[in-house]
């Protein structure tokens, strides 16, 4: 670019502004990795819990020990992504606060599990729905918003069923809310990267 060029035409100014806006837009891509990571972990834990109950194992809830493992993976992944992040968008900042609100709500539900009893899983799905719907709205991605709505519907349904069926509903909720939208998002991301290879380096999630 030239060092000094004092007068620009309106068209030229607009072209510059537009090209800069477009170039940052391409970085607002989510490759779906967080949705896939947690979707598969929760899904696996549901299946394992259900299976262990089926075979009559004494402590089937040990299946949820997968969650701390996910926590450690997330911590490492988050640190690595933070280090390579060259730009912080307004969406990043907004999503950071939504994530905090989501995690606090989730931990309150998990912390009061003994008091909540059979209402625990429906409330977890309700909090998932909240997170998915907002994420889908912010990145303008319909499958996530639909996933959020499905989570809410399944949360209502889960209030009326036994624990075993609640496990099945939670597994379905993460499959439809996290895993499937996660793969669609990944597909979309890969396609976009193929079209514009340079923009992939600064993907924000």
Binding site for another protein (CB under 8 A): 1-8, 12-13, 16-17, 19-21, 23-25, 83, 86-90, 92-93, 198, 202
Here the tokens at position 74 are 């997330």
Tell me the C-alpha to C-alpha distance, in Å, between residue 19 and each of 16, 22, 28, 196: 5, 5, 15, 14
Return the number of the residue (4 or 58) whose C-beta is nearest another protein.
4
Return the number of the residue (92 or 164) whose C-beta is nearest another protein.
92
CA–CA distance, 30 with 25 (Å, rounded to integer): 12
Closest CA to 60 of 73, 72, 47: 47
Return the number of the residue (87 or 104) whose C-beta is nearest another protein.
87
Q: Tell me how far, at minimum, the Cβ of 24 lies from another protein, in Å.
A: 4
Cα 131-133-137 angle, rounded to 5 deg: 115
Return the number of the residue (52 or 202) whose C-beta is nearest another protein.
202
Cα 136-185-192 angle, rounded to 5 deg: 120
Closest CA to 183 of 65, 12, 35, 29: 35
Q: Tell me how far, at minimum, the Cβ of 100 lies from another protein, in Å.
A: 16
Q: Tell me how far, at minimum, the Cβ of 149 lies from another protein, in Å.
A: 30
The three-state secondary structure class of 119 is helix
| Residues across the chain | 205
Q: Tell me how far, at minimum, the Cβ of 118 lies from another protein, in Å.
A: 43
Return the number of the residue (4 or 162) whose C-beta is nearest another protein.
4
Return the number of the residue (15 or 142) whose C-beta is nearest another protein.
15
Q: Tell me how far, at minimum, the Cβ of 142 lies from another protein, in Å.
A: 24
Query: How far from chain centre, in Å, is Cα 42?
Result: 13
Q: Tell me how far, at minimum, the Cβ of 77 lies from another protein, in Å.
A: 18
Count CB-CB contacts under 10 A for residue 199.
17
């Amino acid at each position: 670019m030239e060092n000094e060029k004092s007068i620009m035409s309106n068209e030229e100014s607009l072209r510059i502004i537009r090209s800069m806006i477009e170039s940052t837009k391409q970085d607002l891509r989510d490759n779906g990795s967080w949705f896939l990571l947690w979707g598969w972990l929760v899904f696996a834990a549901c299946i394992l819990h259900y299976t262990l109950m089926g075979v009559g194992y004494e402590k089937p809830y040990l299946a949820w020990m997968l969650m701390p493992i996910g926590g450690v993976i997330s911590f490492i992944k988050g640190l690595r992504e933070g280090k390579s992040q060259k730009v912080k968008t307004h969406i990043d900042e907004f999503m950071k606060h939504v994530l905090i609100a989501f995690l606090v709500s989730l931990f309150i539900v998990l912390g009061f599990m003994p008091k909540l009893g059979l209402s625990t899983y429906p409330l977890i799905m309700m909090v998932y729905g909240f997170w998915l719907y907002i994420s889908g709205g912010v990145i303008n991605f319909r499958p996530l918003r639909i996933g959020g709505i499905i989570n809410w519907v399944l949360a209502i349904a889960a209030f009326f069923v036994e624990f075993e069926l609640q496990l099945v509903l939670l597994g379905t909720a993460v499959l439809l809310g996290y895993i499937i939208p996660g793969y669609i998002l990944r597909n979309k991301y890969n396609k976009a990267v193929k079209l514009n290879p340079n923009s992939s380096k600064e993907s924000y999630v």
